Chains A and B, each alone.
Chain A
Amino acid sequence: MTTSMDRLAAAIHGTPCDRIPVFCNLIDQGAIEMGMKPQEYFSRGDCVAEAQLRMLAKYGHDNVWTLFYVGKEAELMGCDKIKFALDGPPNVENFVIRSWEDIPGLRVPDDIESHPSFAEGARCTAILRREVGGKVPICAYVTATMTLPAILMGMDRWMELLFLGPPELTAMLLEKCHELFVKEIRAYRRAGADVLVYSNPFGSTDMVPMNFFLERSLPWIERDIAAVGTAGIVYYCGMASMNRVISRVLERTGIGVYYLSPLDDITRGRELIAGRALTCGVINDIELIDWSPEQIEHEVERMIAAGKPGGKFLFGTGVMPAAIPEPSIRAMMNAALRFGRHEVTAS
């Protein structure tokens, strides 16, 4: 039987398979699925794994997640307060860096694998490995060096430092973030993650001007990737658009998978990638909340028609908001599985 892993491999290599892979990123739905309060749910890796497996059985997509919430990375750096919500994702509440003076003292833990905040993630990964390892791609999320300061000091303070502050301090902070980045990628690989989503809104010209991207963001992307290799790495700008930078990132790093934004034109993305990597077309899951079943089907059909011809295409979602009704998730999945079928099926 064809597995999700087979589909992903076929999509990456452009070889025949039964259908395109479909990634459905259900993170905020986990606590609801388990009938638990978010705070308790997110403190237990076994529950997060269980929710991923239940939702996998329910919707039939092709991936599972080890991501709890992005603020976990801030916890590794000392963040002691997360704001939980019943109807949405947790957020960093206390910033580790409150003034520029805090930067020199910031410490990356020597061993992140023994850090309590990582340990539950590792526990979750181990369970997923045991249950679906080798069959369903296990995804992990890691924030890029250039973007990580946003959750350590807040996006506004980071922009201020980056564009108006002393360059030595910025450089010092980025070195530390890079150190954490490398440790995280290695730890997730050891724990058994197959897909490593490299999240970098600062690698999108929605966030920074093109000149800045070329002079500052791109060199850090190169350094990040040179340090950890491209295996399993997915380029992702946190739902900011990337068509304007894809060619350069591809040429300079060799990253093999591009997870577009709904704001990117899929046809254009494919043209830019030109068979050199896997293109992931991403549905606008914020509009999805209010779409009718017909609208959902129509949109999925349109996206797949734009991406599938010629192969090397994956259909994906963003970080699905909790407000999306279950029937809408099913309608999206049904349409994606149906329109994603290939004429030629693997034997």
Chain B
Amino acid sequence: MLTELITQYNEALIDTDRDRALQVVHDAVARGVSPEAIVFEVVLPAMDRMITCMTVSGDASIAQHFITAQISNTVTNEMLTRFAVPSETRGRIVIGNSFGDLHALGKRIVIGCLRARMIEVVDLGLNVTAEQFVEGALEHGSPIIAISSMMVHTARGPNGCLGVRRILQERGLEDRIKVIVGGAPYRFDHTLWQTVKADAWADNAMAGARMVEDMLLGVPR
């Protein structure tokens, strides 16, 4: 039964059909599939499957990331309220677009993927200064700062990741707070994350969310 459910759900994601994906999930719950199984055996593996799709065949578009992130987030949220034993959050992080950057899509997809993985996310918004990133992380007790940038100057500029690094260094916070970056320029230059002194990067939001989870759980990468 689960195999069929997984197939139907994955097909709906590939077709960017939100209504069908939600229908498939609701029908399954009605048939008695547990909310835990939906999250851990259907929703999260589907996101991982999309990572494989992307790395193996380059075969998942931004639209599919976007819809998958939205659906995964919605379903996880809904299922969490019905878990037999309340699930604990896996940690909290802050995210924002770097200074000068107003492009929200990448960040929104990443947020969806993180929440689907039961990670709390504080959205610092667009056009966030380096100061605000660090302040945000301290205020919300976040061990990770995630920075999205769609342009070269907002990725490389002194007020972006480099600025965050400088402040973390000056304030001796580097052991406590790690920085992960992503967005279009990083996909064109796979060494750019090192140039801007980030601790990690990911090529897409699904992989990014999994990496954040590993970082939070202290799994060595």
In Å, the complex CA distance between A285 and B31 comes to: 54
Name which residue of chain B comes closest to A201, CB basis.
B62
Q: Which of B61, B104, B153 is in CB contact (< 8 Å) with A208?
A: B61
Dominant secondary structure at the B interface: helix
Q: Type the 1/0 row for A141-169, where 1 means its CB is closer than 8 Å to any CB of B.
A: 00000000000001110010011100000
In Å, the complex CA distance between A323 and B196 comes to: 14
Task: Determine if A80 is an interface residue (Cβ-Cβ < 8 Å).
Answer: no
Contact-residue size bin, chain A (C-beta under 8 Å from the other chain): 20 to 34
In Å, the complex CA distance between A201 and B105 comes to: 14
Task: Determine if B108 is an interface residue (Cβ-Cβ < 8 Å).
Answer: yes
For the complex, count residues of B whose C-beta is within 8 A of A: 29
Instruction: Tell me which residues across on chain A come within 8 A of B70, comparing CB atoms.
Output: 164
In Å, the complex CA distance between A88 and B151 comes to: 8
- Per the 8 Å Cβ criterion, residues 98-144 of B in contact with A are 100, 102-105, 108
Structural contact, B100 and A85, CB atoms closer than 8 A: yes
- Decide yes or no: A156 and B108 within 8 Å by CB, A88-B100, A93-B102, A209-B63 being known contacts: yes
In Å, the complex CA distance between A239 and B189 comes to: 13
Task: Determine if B76 is an interface residue (Cβ-Cβ < 8 Å).
Answer: no
Residue among B15, B102, B156, B188 having the largest count of chain A Cβ atoms under 10 Å: B188
- Decide yes or no: A205 and B61 within 8 Å by CB, A87-B153, A88-B152 being known contacts: yes
Task: Determine if A230 is an interface residue (Cβ-Cβ < 8 Å).
Answer: no
Structural contact, A207 and B153, CB atoms closer than 8 A: no
Task: Determine if B14 is an interface residue (Cβ-Cβ < 8 Å).
Answer: yes
Instruction: Tell me which residues across on chain A come within 8 A of B189, comparing CB atoms.
Output: 284, 286-287, 289-290
Task: Determine if A37 is an interface residue (Cβ-Cβ < 8 Å).
Answer: no
Task: Determine if A345 is an interface residue (Cβ-Cβ < 8 Å).
Answer: no
Instruction: Tell me which residues across on chain B come within 8 A of A83, comparing CB atoms.
Output: 100, 102
B54 to chain A, nearest CB (A): 10
In Å, the complex CA distance between A159 and B69 comes to: 13
Structural contact, A211 and B15, CB atoms closer than 8 A: yes
Instruction: Tell me which residues across on chain B come within 8 A of A286, comparing CB atoms.
Output: 152, 185, 188-189, 192
Task: Determine if B64 is an interface residue (Cβ-Cβ < 8 Å).
Answer: yes
- Decide yes or no: A163 and B67 within 8 Å by CB, A85-B100, A209-B16, A287-B188 being known contacts: yes
Nearest 5 interchain pairs by C-beta: A88-B153, A286-B188, A321-B152, A156-B105, A155-B105
